[in-house]
Homo-oligomer: A and B are copies of this chain.
Amino acid sequence: MILSNIKKPTLLIDRKKVEININTITAKTKKSGIIFRPHFKTHQSNEVGKIYKELGINKITVSSVGMANYFMNDGWEDITIAFPLNIRELPEIQEIASKIKLNILISSSAQLQNIDICINSPIGFFLKIDTGYHRAGIDYRMTDEIDELLKISSTNPLLSFKGFLSHFGNTYGAKNINDIIAIYHSGIQKLLALKTKYQKKYPEIIISIGDTPSTSLIEDFGKIDEIRPGNFVYYDWMQKNLGSCREEQIAVAVACPVIDINHQRNEILIYGGAVHFSKEFVIDTNRQKTFGSIVELSHTGWSESVEGCFLKSLSQEHGLIHADQAFMPKVKTGDLIGILPIHSCLTANLLKESYLII
C-alpha cells in the first residue's frame, strides 16, 4: 500500500481479512448445508464482489433496485432485493427480472396490486416476516394475512412463492452475546412454525434470515435454509462492541490526513467528517461517545486500536480525536491516521469512490 498517494479520507479494505471473513461464514453454511446469499449493501463494490465470486459465491442480496442493477451489470445472475417492494420501481424491476433470476419481498396486498400490469417475466417472491424487530414485514402470527397474500399471488403464474424471509435486526440492540443468541432462536422458531404450516402446499419454500450478529455467533444453523448477512465482510467497531467479532476481524479502516495537533487539549484534528463516516456512534466501555477507534497505519495494514484514543466528534469534514498523552508525540501534521469505523456499511457507502483494496 502506497500511503503517500492518499490525499483525502480513503477506505482501506484489507483483502486478506475480507477473505477470512467470507471463508469463515462460507465454511459454517457448508457444514450446515444451507445457502449463503451475502448482502452486498455493505460494500456496494464490484471489486469486492469479485473477491466473493472467486471464493465461490454466486447468489447475492441487495437492498435497492439500483444495487440490483449495478451488480447484474457486473455479471451476477441470482439476486434477492431484500427490501419490501417499492411499487414505483416496478418497471425497473421488470427490466431486471427479464434478464436474471430475481427475488423480491412482499409484505402487503397493496404491493401486489400493480404487479400484474408491470411484471411480465417470472419473478420469485418472499414474504417478509416480522418476528419481533418491528421495522417491516407481516407479524408472524398473522396467518390470515399470509393466506390472503398467497391467494392473491397464486392468480399470477409468473409469481413464484419462495418462502419466508426475516431480518433479526433487534440483535443489533442486544446487550450481550446471550441476548443475540436468544433473539436468534426465538426468531427461527417462529419462522419454522410458518414453514411447517405452509410447506404442505408449497414444498419448495425456504426460510431466509440475515443479521450479522447472530450469523456470526451461531455455529450450526440447524433447520434454516439460507442466511444473508452483509456487514460481516468488513465488521466494525459496533460489531466488536456487540461481541459478534473480534477487533482483528475488522477489515476496513479509514485513512485520514492529520490537519492539526492541539497539545493543550491532547487533540488531533483530521480530515474526515460526517460526509465520510456518517454520524453513527457508540458509547464505549469508558462511557465516552465514540465515532471511531484509532489505529496506526503502516504499509502493510494497521495496528491494534490505540488505547486512550478515540474519535470524539465529527462535523461535515472535520474529525476530532481525543488522544492519549503517550500517543501525541507519535503524530505530526500531514501524517495519515487510521480510524476503525463505527458502522462500516454507512462509511463504505460514503466512500464508494474513495477506497483502496490492500
Residues of chain A in range 91-111 having any CB-CB distance to chain B below 8 Å: 92, 107-108, 110-111
A244 interfacial by beta-carbon distance below 8 Å: no
What is the bound-complex CA distance between A212 and B339, given in angstroms?
A: 30
Q: Say yes or no: A86 contacts B7, CB within 8 Å.
A: yes
A32 interfacial by beta-carbon distance below 8 Å: no
Q: Say yes or no: B269 contacts A84, CB within 8 Å.
A: yes
A297 interfacial by beta-carbon distance below 8 Å: no
Q: Say yes or no: B136 contacts A85, CB within 8 Å.
A: no
Closest chain B CB from A86 CB (angstroms)? 5
Q: Say yes or no: A8 contacts B89, CB within 8 Å.
A: yes
Q: Say yes or no: A271 contacts B86, CB within 8 Å.
A: yes
Q: Say yes or no: A63 contacts B316, CB within 8 Å.
A: yes
Closest chain B CB from A316 CB (angstroms)? 6
A41 interfacial by beta-carbon distance below 8 Å: yes
Residues of chain A in range 255-289 having any CB-CB distance to chain B below 8 Å: 257, 259-261, 264-265, 269, 271, 274-275, 278-280
A345 interfacial by beta-carbon distance below 8 Å: yes
Q: Say yes or no: B315 contacts A169, CB within 8 Å.
A: yes
A334 interfacial by beta-carbon distance below 8 Å: yes
Q: Say yes or no: B63 contacts A135, CB within 8 Å.
A: no
A330 interfacial by beta-carbon distance below 8 Å: no
What is the bound-complex CA distance between A66 and B9, given in angstroms?
A: 12
Give the residues in chain B near A280, CB-CB below 8 Å: 274, 279
What is the bound-complex CA distance between A349 and B166, given in angstroms?
A: 31
Q: Say yes or no: A6 contacts B260, CB within 8 Å.
A: no
Q: Please encode chain A, from 312 to 335, with 1 for each CB lying within 8 Å of some chain B CB and 0 for all others.
A: 010111101000000000001110
Residues of chain A in range 1-20 having any CB-CB distance to chain B below 8 Å: 6-8
Q: Say yes or no: A108 contacts B274, CB within 8 Å.
A: no
A216 interfacial by beta-carbon distance below 8 Å: no
Minimal Cβ-Cβ distance residue in B for A92 = B7
Closest chain B CB from A294 CB (angstroms)? 17
Q: Say yes or no: B7 contacts A257, CB within 8 Å.
A: no
Closest chain B CB from A278 CB (angstroms)? 5
Q: Say yes or no: A89 contacts B7, CB within 8 Å.
A: yes
A174 interfacial by beta-carbon distance below 8 Å: no
A88 interfacial by beta-carbon distance below 8 Å: yes
Q: Say yes or no: B333 contacts A8, CB within 8 Å.
A: no
Q: List 26 A-B contacts (CB under 8 A).
A: A7-B92, A41-B317, A63-B316, A63-B317, A83-B259, A83-B318, A85-B259, A86-B257, A87-B334, A108-B260, A108-B261, A110-B333, A111-B259, A134-B265, A135-B320, A136-B269, A139-B264, A169-B315, A274-B280, A274-B346, A275-B346, A278-B278, A279-B280, A316-B346, A316-B349, A350-B350
